[in-house]
């Protein structure tokens, strides 16, 4: 048996107790032992004891003799075990040694370092046959040393170097026992690193000695992360420790991202992993929506981390609860990874990966609208996503739908970049404050009796405590009688100051963060004309991405036998694609051809089937089965439009009856389930030819593919088609009118801008109202634009601002029945979105003057709807105002407790949602109110949300226009 260097004493459960033994004695014993070991070592050292020839001969002999080592002559058993015994004792002594004064090395450690004990032992064992057993023993030895030593050992190169050599010699090992021990040691090392990151540098340096800037620990761990059982667990735990480290250490982060296989391994994912993960989380409370640190620390962390990835593949098979769990994991992952390259890997997976033809992202978006806690958890995930300030994410979620500017009247594009000089939007938003929440009606603790002294004259007034003085303040100043201040007797809502302050912080950090973005998204860059592709249509590069994954089917589509694979999504995408480089054959006529080739198909793709199923449910107005709402993204699209058209009809009601709207040939489109929608069929003149835009085209393509073969769903699909077509027709009809209305303001805007641009030599008389304004061309875009819009009318996409906005707004509309936490998340997300400086997004969310296409629902519209709901509620419930007061108090108390908790836990970046509630008022006595009264809480939240939005709008009017160059 080879020499084992592990002290058996500690393994037998009878550790030698050295306490009380005098350090000097220990040192003497250690030195003695080492002298004995060295004697044996040198005796068998070919370089020392014998000539090169002899050593060669010895090796030759050794090789000749059966079972001998390749490295050297066989060492007699008694000598080997003698070394083992000595080393055992020595290690024990080393382990037990306390460090010297002020962290100096203890004498034994110093000796170990000076004499290079560890390295010599390692080299010695290398010289002998380095079997798995040997490795095992050595790994155990280091594991023990690292884990139990009383003084830091890894700081010393003579200890670290042999350890690294050992580790690298183990890199290819296959024996499970060695692997287990290796991972255990690696985990141990990671723990040490996590505690003392200063060692990290040494690991890098030591690796460099070996010729490669390689973070060995990390590389060694990677192969184990998908393992089942404890090995995998430990490897993942260890990796998570390193990931945590990478958040602080740039070098580690860079290394992980650039020099290791971690990203690919991560991105690939392994389906086997999922089975070993916990599929259920204990949900602690109703409020729960994401994994907090305390929670996931209790769980094997990396499991979640990987689970989040796996979830993408396993998504369809999961039950509701599992989906929720994995979504929470996903959120956790996004929150814990900070290294951009890692995030890139992960985000690209979410944004670009498709499952059965549906983007993971879209699936996630659709979950927002699910009832139950899954919706809440999904909201939390998106809050995390949009707070990354990641252009790619924002592009996919919102911006790509806004770039074409189809959501607004053509004439309105200029307004996108306009500055709201006089807080008109803020005023309009605040005007939605329900009467029961008006600041004038707030109870004393909320209503600030202090007024903001807009001028500092308040001080004067206070000092003299004389109101005459106050009223005479306009005479102050230079005595010339110029009034320069305004009165401050109005009760100001002081809480609003906090919102302004928060808005300022939020916007300015957003502006800073977005400096790395590729474009300003201001309605000019990227140019709307260039990116007219509709919504469902996948633009060029996307198709290219797909092509990379799925080989394009360029040949004529072959009939598909029943029951076989659904049509390739890549193929469908190519049909909608108007890029010329991705696929020349089909792209040549793709953008104009209203009827692209329809590959015959006998069965709808699975996701379409799912879509139809969910659609029925959505149209019925409720979700029934928990697990059945996958792949309903496309349906949201339709629902959003249906909603929009309903809103429109409602708003038309006071003026004329809805039937006025109806065009000749109005037909009842009744859906299978009995729900009846009266929709004008309004087939416009060109409707038959190219009335369907790109987006709809995409949908009808799908539908068209199916129509012949699908019997049961044929009806429903055709109804959808009908629905879409009518929506298009309606939009087209209204466009003309509103465009005319909108033109006026644009003309004004044009002038303003032009005048702003004028320099030095301007004619001041032009500022007078009397001077007639020079006629401006009607369209600021010139004839080219008009021509374009005219000619491409058919391909003018149905205005749609994307499933994400649509889902958010539809949840917001139901604010009164949402739980408090859903509403907090929802308003938090919208406020965060509103803080983005990109004019497209900003104008869409906050500019109340922008004229949208009739089918586009704006945030303001939805807020107005909610306000009306609240007013109705307040009117018919006597105790409503009273309840609101109670809820306000409760929320304030909650807020106060958060602040306290935040402070006591040492601050940190708490959830900002709390900032929404008034901060400054004295904490009131919390009275009991049931959280079930969602409408009451929602009302309070609503009025606070209005302030938050208004504050953001106001800050934008200043911040987003400060020139950056200075």
Partner 1 sequence: MNLNPFWSMSANTSRKRSDEEQSGHTDQRASPARTHFSKKVLPPIPKNATPFTKPALMGPAAHTANGTHASYGPFYLEYSLLAEFTLVIKQKLPGIYVQPSYKSALMWFGVIFIRHGLYQDGVFKFTVYIPDNYPDGECPKLVFDIPVFHPLVDPVSGELDVRRAFTKWRRNHNHIWQVLMYARTVFYKINTTEPLNPEAAVLYEKDVQLFKSKVVDSVKLCNSHLFDQPKIDDPYAISFSPWNPAVHEEAKERMFTHKRRPEDHHKGTQVSGLSWVKPGSTQPFSKEDGPPQS
The two three-digit tokens of residue 479, written as one number: 């005595």
Asked if 764 touches partner 1 (CB under 8 A), the answer is yes
547 vs 321: CA distance, rounded Å: 34
The secondary element (H helix, E strand) that includes residue 18 is none
Stretch that binds partner 1, among 173-181, 219-227, 419-427, 643-651 (CB under 8 A): 419-427
411 vs 747: CA distance, rounded Å: 9
The two three-digit tokens of residue 346, written as one number: 């992960």
The residue written with tokens 């836990």 in the block is 905
343, 362 contact by CB (below 8 A): no
- The residues near 376 (Cβ < 8 Å, ≥ 6 apart) are 289, 819, 821, 822, 825
- The residues near 518 (Cβ < 8 Å, ≥ 6 apart) are 391
Q: Beta-carbon neighbour count of residue 203 at 10 Å?
A: 21
One of 192, 352, 727, 805 touching partner 1 (CB under 8 A):
352
Among residues 449 and 685, whose Cβ is nearest to partner 1?
A: 449
Dihedrals phi, psi of 354, to nearest 5 degrees: -115, 145
Q: Which of residues 318-347 bind partner 1 (CB under 8 A)?
A: 340-341, 343-344, 347
795, 913 contact by CB (below 8 A): no
Q: How many residues are recorded in the chain?
A: 966
- H helices of 905-933, in order, are none
Among residues 107 and 458, whose Cβ is nearest to partner 1?
A: 458
Among residues 78 and 440, whose Cβ is nearest to partner 1?
A: 440
| Shortest CB 348 distance to partner 1, Å | 5
Q: Which of residues 543-602 bind partner 1 (CB under 8 A)?
A: 545
Asked if 348 touches partner 1 (CB under 8 A), the answer is yes
Asked if 881 touches partner 1 (CB under 8 A), the answer is no
Q: Which of residues 489-548 bind partner 1 (CB under 8 A)?
A: 489-494, 496-497, 500-501, 504, 508-510, 512-519, 526, 531, 539-542, 545
Asked if 211 touches partner 1 (CB under 8 A), the answer is no
- Dihedral angle over CA of 759, 763, 769, 770, nearest 10: -160
Stretch that binds partner 1, among 429-437, 598-606, 781-789, 925-933 (CB under 8 A): 429-437
The secondary element (H helix, E strand) that includes residue 213 is none
**Which candidate, 513, 523, 581, 519, places its Cα nearest to that of 552?**
581
Stretch that binds partner 1, among 426-434, 562-570, 803-811, 886-894 (CB under 8 A): 426-434
Q: Which of residues 790-849 bind partner 1 (CB under 8 A)?
A: none
Asked if 762 touches partner 1 (CB under 8 A), the answer is yes
One of 291, 426, 633, 798 touching partner 1 (CB under 8 A):
426
530 vs 540: CA distance, rounded Å: 12
Q: Which of residues 384-413 bind partner 1 (CB under 8 A)?
A: 388-393, 395-396, 399-400, 403
One of 477, 658, 777, 790 touching partner 1 (CB under 8 A):
477
One of 465, 712, 905, 930 touching partner 1 (CB under 8 A):
465
The two three-digit tokens of residue 624, written as one number: 């029934």
For residue 427, the SS3 value is helix
Among residues 42 and 258, whose Cβ is nearest to partner 1?
A: 258
533, 573 contact by CB (below 8 A): no
Among residues 480 and 930, whose Cβ is nearest to partner 1?
A: 480
SS3 for 473-491 is HHHCCCCCCCCCCCCCCCC
Stretch that binds partner 1, among 431-439, 608-616, 824-832, 884-892 (CB under 8 A): 431-439
One of 74, 384, 423, 792 touching partner 1 (CB under 8 A):
423
β-pair type (667-670, 676-679): antiparallel
In 286-356, where do the E strands start and end? 354-355
In the chain the first and final C-alpha atoms are separated, in Å, by 76
Stretch that binds partner 1, among 72-80, 199-207, 462-470, 803-811 (CB under 8 A): 462-470
| Shortest CB 621 distance to partner 1, Å | 34
**Which candidate, 422, 479, 499, 492, places its Cα nearest to that of 453?**
492
- The residues near 154 (Cβ < 8 Å, ≥ 6 apart) are 146, 160, 163, 189, 192, 199, 202
One of 1, 422, 905, 906 touching partner 1 (CB under 8 A):
422
Q: Beta-carbon neighbour count of residue 722 at 10 Å?
A: 15
Stretch that binds partner 1, among 268-276, 469-477, 863-871, 895-903 (CB under 8 A): 469-477
| Shortest CB 535 distance to partner 1, Å | 13
β-pair type (358-359, 354-355): antiparallel
Among residues 345 and 779, whose Cβ is nearest to partner 1?
A: 345
Q: Which of residues 740-759 bind partner 1 (CB under 8 A)?
A: 748, 751-752, 755-756
Site string for partner 1, 251-290 (x = CB under 8 A): -------x--------------------------------
| Shortest CB 829 distance to partner 1, Å | 17
Stretch that binds partner 1, among 420-428, 560-568, 868-876, 906-914 (CB under 8 A): 420-428
Q: Which of residues 765-784 bind partner 1 (CB under 8 A)?
A: 765, 767-770
Please tell me the count of residues contacting partner 1 according to CB under 8 A.
116
**Which candidate, 645, 683, 618, 574, places its Cα nearest to that of 799?**
645
One of 25, 49, 482, 817 touching partner 1 (CB under 8 A):
482
One of 44, 457, 617, 842 touching partner 1 (CB under 8 A):
457
Among residues 79 and 752, whose Cβ is nearest to partner 1?
A: 752
Q: Which of residues 897-956 bind partner 1 (CB under 8 A)?
A: 950, 954-955
């Amino acid at each position: 048996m080879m020499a084992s260097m592990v002290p058996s004493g500690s393994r037998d459960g009878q550790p030698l107790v050295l306490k009380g033994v005098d350090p000097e004695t220990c040192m003497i014993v250690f030195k003695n032992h080492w002298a004995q070991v060295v004697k044996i070592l040198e005796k068998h050292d070919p370089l020392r004891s014998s000539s090169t020839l002899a050593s060669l001969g010895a090796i030759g002999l050794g090789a000749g003799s059966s079972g001998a080592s390749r490295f050297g002559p066989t060492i007699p058993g008694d000598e080997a075990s003698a070394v083992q015994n000595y080393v055992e004792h020595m290690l024990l002594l080393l382990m037990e040694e306390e460090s010297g004064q002020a962290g100096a090395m203890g004498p034994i450690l110093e000796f170990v370092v000076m004499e290079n004990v560890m390295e010599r032992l390692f080299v010695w064992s290398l010289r002998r046959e380095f079997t798995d057993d040997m490795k095992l023993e050595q790994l155990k030895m280091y594991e023990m040393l690292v884990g139990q030593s009383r003084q830091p050992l890894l700081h010393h190169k003579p200890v670290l170097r042999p350890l690294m050599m050992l580790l690298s010699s183990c890199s290819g090992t296959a024996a499970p026992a060695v692997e287990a021990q290796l991972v255990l040691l690696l985990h141990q090392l990671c723990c040490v690193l996590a505690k003392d990151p200063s060692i990290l540098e040494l690991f890098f340096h030591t690796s460099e000695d070996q010729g490669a800037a390689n973070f060995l620990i990390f590389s060694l761990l990677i192969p184990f992360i998908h393992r089942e059982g404890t090995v995998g667990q430990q490897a993942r735990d260890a990796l998570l420790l390193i990931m945590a480290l990478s958040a602080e250490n740039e070098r580690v982060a860079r290394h992980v991202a650039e020099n290791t296989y971690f990203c690919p391994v991560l991105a690939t994912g392994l389906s086997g992993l999922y089975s070993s993960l916990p599929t259920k989380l204990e949900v602690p409370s109703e409020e729960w929506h994401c994994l907090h640190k305390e929670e996931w620390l209790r769980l094997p962390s990396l499991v979640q981390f990987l689970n989040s990835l796996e979830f993408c593949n396993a998504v369809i098979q999961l039950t509701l609860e599992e989906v929720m769990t994995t979504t929470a994991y996903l959120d956790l992952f996004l929150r814990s990874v900070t290294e951009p390259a890692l995030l890139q890997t992960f985000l690209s997976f979410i944004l670009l990966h498709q499952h059965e033809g549906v983007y993971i992202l879209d699936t996630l978006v659709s979950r927002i609208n699910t009832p139950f806690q899954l919706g809440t958890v999904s909201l939390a995930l998106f809050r995390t996503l949009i707070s990354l300030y990641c252009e790619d994410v924002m592009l996919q979620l919102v911006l790509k739908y806004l770039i074409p500017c189809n959501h607004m009247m053509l004439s309105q594009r200029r307004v996108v970049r306009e500055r709201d000089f006089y807080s008109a939007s803020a005023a309009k938003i605040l005007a939605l404050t329900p009467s029961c929440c008006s600041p004038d009606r707030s109870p004393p603790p909320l209503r600030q009796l202090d007024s903001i002294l807009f001028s500092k004259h308040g001080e004067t007034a206070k000092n003299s405590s004389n109101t005459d003085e106050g009223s005479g303040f306009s005479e102050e100043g230079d005595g010339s009688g110029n009034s320069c201040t305004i009165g401050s007797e109005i009760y100001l809502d002081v809480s609003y100051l906090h919102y302004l302050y928060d808005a300022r912080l939020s916007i300015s950090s957003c502006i800073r963060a977005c400096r790395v973005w590729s474009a300003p998204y201001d309605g000019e860059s990227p140019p709307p004309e260039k990116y007219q592709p509709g919504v469902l249509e996948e633009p060029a590069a996307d198709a290219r991405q797909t092509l990379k994954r799925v080989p394009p089917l360029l040949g004529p589509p072959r009939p598909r036998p029943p029951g076989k694979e659904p049509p390739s999504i890549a193929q469908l995408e190519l049909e909608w694609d108007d890029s010329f480089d991705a696929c020349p054959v089909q792209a040549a006529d793709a953008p104009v051809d209203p009827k692209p080739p329809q590959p015959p198909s006998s069965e709808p793709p699975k996701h379409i089937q799912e879509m139809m199923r969910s659609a029925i449910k959505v149209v019925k107005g409720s979700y029934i089965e928990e697990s059945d709402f996958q792949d309903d993204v496309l349906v949201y699209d339709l629902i959003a439009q249906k909603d929009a058209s309903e809103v429109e009809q409602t708003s038309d009601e006071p003026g004329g009856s809805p039937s006025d709207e109806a065009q000749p040939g109005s037909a009842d489109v009744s859906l299978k389930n009995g729900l009846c929608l009266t929709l004008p069929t309004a087939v416009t003149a060109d409707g038959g030819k190219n009335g369907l835009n790109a987006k709809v085209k995409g949908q009808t393509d799908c539908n068209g593919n199916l129509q012949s073969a699908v019997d049961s769903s044929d009806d429903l699909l055709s109804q959808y088609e009908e629905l879409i077509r009518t929506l298009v027709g309606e939009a087209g009809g209204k466009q003309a009118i509103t465009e005319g209305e909108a033109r006026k303001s644009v003309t004004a805007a044009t002038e303003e801008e032009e005048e702003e641009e004028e320099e030095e030599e301007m004619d001041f008389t032009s500022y007078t109202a009397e001077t007639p304004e020079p006629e401006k061309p009607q369209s600021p875009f010139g004839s080219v634009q008009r021509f374009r819009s005219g000619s491409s009318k058919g391909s003018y996409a149905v205005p749609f601002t994307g499933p994400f906005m649509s889902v958010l707004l539809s949840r917001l509309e139901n604010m009164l029945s949402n739980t408090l936490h859903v509403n907090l998340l929802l308003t938090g997300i919208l406020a965060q979105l509103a803080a983005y400086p990109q004019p497209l997004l900003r104008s869409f969310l906050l500019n109340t003057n922008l004229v949208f296409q009739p089918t586009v629902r704006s945030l303001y519209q939805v807020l107005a709807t909610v306000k009306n709901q609240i007013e109705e509620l307040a009117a018919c419930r006597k105790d409503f105002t009273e309840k609101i007061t109670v809820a306000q108090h409760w929320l304030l108390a909650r807020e106060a407790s958060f602040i306290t908790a935040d402070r006591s836990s040492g601050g940190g970046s708490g959830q900002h949602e709390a900032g929404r509630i008034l901060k400054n008022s004295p904490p009131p006595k919390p009275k009991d109110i049931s959280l079930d009264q969602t409408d009451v809480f929602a009302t309070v939240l609503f009025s606070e949300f209005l302030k938050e939005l208004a504050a953001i709008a106001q800050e934008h009017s200043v911040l987003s226009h400060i020139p950056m160059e200075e």
